[in-house]
A and B are shown apart, each in its own frame.
Chain A
Amino acid sequence: MHSLKLIYAFLKMNIQMSLAYRADTVVNILLNLMWLGWELLSLNIIFSNTQTLGGWGIGELIALLGVFRLVNTLMIALIWPNTEKFNQSIRDGSMDYTILQPANSMFLVTFSRITVWRFWDLILAIILIVIGINMSGDLITAPQILTFILLALSGIIVIYSLWIVLIALTFWFTKFDNNVTILQALLDAGRYPATVYPVWLRVIVTFIIPIAVATTIPLQALRGELAFNQVLIFFFIGVASFIIASRVWKSGLKRYSGASS
């Protein structure tokens, strides 16, 4: 409950910061309107060229695009700005204040910056997922939708955890500004269904680079292609990666407090 209150407080502050400079605000609104137009246009192209890719129907592809965009929104709205803030706070020492605040520092580092302009990305992603599921036909059952949501969340947590591990490495290396570039490169591999890749690459994409966990896997759940134990395994991967990330973060903090001056 208190976490929600804090997110709300951060959100409010970020809106205030976004509105602080007038010209900047106007440019941002215009740019984002242009972006939205471009996005809708490119979606229209996809919709009007009904095709299948790697055995996936158009509805499923649209849902996949939606999930991918959800992950992308996470990147743009939280991960990119907070990485920038994080790297800067390590350099200028304001990380000290974050550590001394009576709240989970991982939580503070995750939500202190929010790119509020991209809220429509989130809405667009959800609309795409809903349309995609609808277009996939009547074959989809409620349990399939539920496992889909569950695994999509778990996949997002996997990516989030990967991010936490990458930025926590900064505690050891002091300067590691490319931390998110690596993550973005990994994510771009998940733009297409994992089944379009050859088998060996699919294994890498699924298990070593966990982006497929966030995109392809939930879609497979939606199509009812996953057995119950597979659903459990992928859900467990989400939980486990969060626990590992929290551990790495904690020992990173310890390292920071042992080495910095």
Chain B
Amino acid sequence: MTPTISVQQLSKTYEVPEREGGFSAAVRSFFKRKYKDVKAVQEVNFNIEQGEVVGFLGPNGAGKTTTLKMLSGLLHPTSGTANVLGFTPWELKNDYLRSMTLVMGQRNRLSWDIPAADSFLLNQAIYRIPDDEYKETYKELDELLELEPLMKKPVRNLSLGERMKCEIAVGLLHRPKVLFLDEPTIGLDITGQARIREFLQEYNKRTGATIILTSHYMADVTALCERIIIIHHGQLKYDGGINDLSKKIAPFKLIGVLMENADAHDLSQYGEPVENMEDADKKFIQVKADEVTRITSRLLADLPIRDITIADPPIEDVIEQAFNA
């Protein structure tokens, strides 16, 4: 079976005008522009199967949004190919546009002055959704997102979280098979984030839709995605299971020990001490995965240990290390 999304050697280079600060530089730049090439995405490869939920991670400016824009068809790549559901996205075929959606957390599709219900109907017309199918989809989305109370108020009177629910719903009215979500939880409070997350999980389970999402919130990714793709400086740094990430990128373990008279003992000779862990009673050190057994037995032999734990480091720290690698 061919993958739902397949990307080969995808690259995007922007030409960005550049000038020094100051008045005379501004005048000079009016007559003669200097451009600088910015390599936003460089030779990225990956395949995504139907029904997968994949998280795109990377700091600001890493190339996540650029990649999503190429996959949705908004941007032509500088080189490389992509295939989504059998289409080349940037050809913008109507059949393709009807089977995918792009939701951008920072942009509005709904009209500000009128209730969302009216914008929904306009989208029904644009996407040529038959009435009965529209009603059915709406009912289902309402069940999952509790839309009904939000539908009658002008969009400008909705809270950010409520508006985001509607923005996501309007993007799903045509039952897309592939969802590109760029920061769908941005600016939302913890409960708001959790709601969107639960919804996406349930939606994926019910419809088997393929989802790619970018997020700054690690919790989004750890809760939703079994697989993550890390992009940094436009390059793919990691592609794989979220659980394998620590093995590959940071083959470290955390050893936590509970001791009598803990402050009297210096652990730095055994491994790198780690501060500010949740469990305040214990002292933690980070050691290489293949040295865990050796160091554990040394610790047990040398120190008055009451309890010892061995665990993977938190995913946030691992990803942080991946960026810096």
Which A residues fall within an 8 A CB radius of B? 2, 5-6, 9-10, 12-13, 16-17, 20-21, 92-94, 96-97, 99-103, 108, 254, 257-261
Contact = CB atoms under 8 A, between A and B. Distances in A.
Interface residues of B, number: 34
Contacts of A257: 73-76, 90
11 contacts: A6-B125, A9-B125, A13-B114, A94-B107, A96-B74, A100-B102, A102-B94, A102-B98, A254-B76, A257-B90, A260-B74
Nearest to B98: A102
Interface in B77-136: 90, 92, 94-95, 97-98, 102, 104, 106-109, 111, 113-114, 118-119, 121-122, 125-128
B192 interface: no
B57 interface: no
Given A13-B121, A20-B154, A259-B14, 10 more contacts: A12-B121, A13-B118, A13-B119, A92-B107, A97-B109, A99-B73, A99-B92, A102-B127, A258-B76, A260-B74
Contact of A21 (B15, B109, B113): B113
Contacts of B95: 102
**Main SS of chain A's interface residues?**
helix
B114 A17 contact: yes
B221 interface: no
Interface of B: 14-15, 40, 66, 69, 72-76, 90, 92, 94-95, 97-98, 102, 104, 106-109, 111, 113-114, 118-119, 121-122, 125-128, 154
A10 B40 CA distance: 37
A92 B106 CA distance: 10
Nearest to A89: B107
Contact of B75 (A13, A108, A260): A260
B118 to A, nearest CB: 5
Contacts of B126: 6, 9, 101-103, 108
Contacts of A17: 111, 113-114
Contacts of A5: 125
B40 A261 contact: yes
Contact of A102 (B69, B74, B97): B97
Contact of B15 (A13, A94, A100, A259): A259
